Amino acid sequence: MTGINGLKISGELCLVRLCEDSRGSGLLPAFSRLLAGSKINMLFLSTESDAGGTRTTCCVDAAHEALLKSVLHAEPMLQERAEFTAGVGLLTLFPHRSRLTLFGRSLRALAQAGLRVFAVASSVGTLTYVLEYAQLDKAAEVMQACFEFAGNHSPFKADSLLRREPCGGPEARSERKETRAMYWEPQIKTYGFQVVKNLALYTYRLPADLPAEWTRTIKRIEDEATRFHLLHAQLSESFELDLQLLCEPDQGAPLARRIAVEIPAAGDRLLVTAPVELIFFQGPHFGDRFGIADFTFKTLKEKTDVLRAAVFACASIYLMLPEGAADETRTRLAAAFRTPG
Amino acid sequence: MSNDKLILVVDDDPDLVESVSMKLEGEGFQVAKAYDGVEAWDRIKHERPHMLILDVMMPRKNGYELCNEIKKDDEYKDITVLLLTAVADAIPFTTYTHMDGKSTLADDFIPKPIDLDNLMEIVRDNL
Q: Does ipTM come in above 0.85?
A: yes
Q: Do A315 and B13 touch (CB under 8 A)?
A: yes
Instruction: Work out how many domains chain B is built from and give that number.
Output: 1
- Host domain of residue B112: 6-126
Instruction: Work out the pLDDT band at B89, boundaries 50, 70, 90.
Output: low
CATH number at residue B100: 3.40.50.2300
Instruction: Work out the pLDDT band at A210, boundaries 50, 70, 90.
Output: low
Residue B75 is assigned to a structural domain of this protein:
yes
Q: Determine the residue among B10, B33, B42, B95 to mutate to test chain A binding: the one whose Cβ has the most chain A Cβ atoms within 10 Å.
A: B95
Residue B16 is assigned to a structural domain of this protein:
yes
Q: Please name the amino acid found at residue A287.
A: G
Residue B88 is assigned to a structural domain of this protein:
yes
Residue B41 is assigned to a structural domain of this protein:
yes
* Per-residue b or e along B5-33, where b marks 16 or more CB atoms closer than 10 Å to that residue's CB: bbbbbbbbbbbbbbbbbbbbeebebbbbb
Q: What pLDDT shows up at residue A97? A: 92
Nearest to A189 among B16, B17, B113 (CB): B113
pLDDT digits (tens, 9 = 90+) for A43-72: 999 999 988 889 999 999 999 999 999 988
Q: Do B39 and A191 touch (CB under 8 A)?
A: no
- What mean pLDDT is predicted for residues A142-168? 69
Q: Do A94 and B14 touch (CB under 8 A)?
A: yes
Q: Rounded to the nearest 5 degrees, what angle is found at the Cα of A280, between the Cα atoms of A149 and A291?
A: 95
Instruction: Work out the pLDDT band at A160, boundaries 50, 70, 90.
Output: very low
Q: What pLDDT shows up at residue B1? A: 53
Residue B1 is assigned to a structural domain of this protein:
no
pTM comes to 0.90
Total beta-carbon pairs less than 8 A apart between chain A and chain B:
132
- Taking 90 as the threshold, does the pLDDT of residue B114 lie above it? no
Instruction: Work out the pLDDT band at A172, boundaries 50, 70, 90.
Output: very low
Q: Rounded to the nearest 5 degrees, what angle is found at the Cα of A52, between the Cα atoms of A51 and A58?
A: 110
What's the rounded Cα separation, in Å, for the pair B16 and B56?
13
Enumerate domains of chain A plus CATH numbers. Answer: 3-151+189-336 (3.30.2130.10)
Contacts of A159 (CB under 8 A, 6+ apart): A177, A179, B59, B60
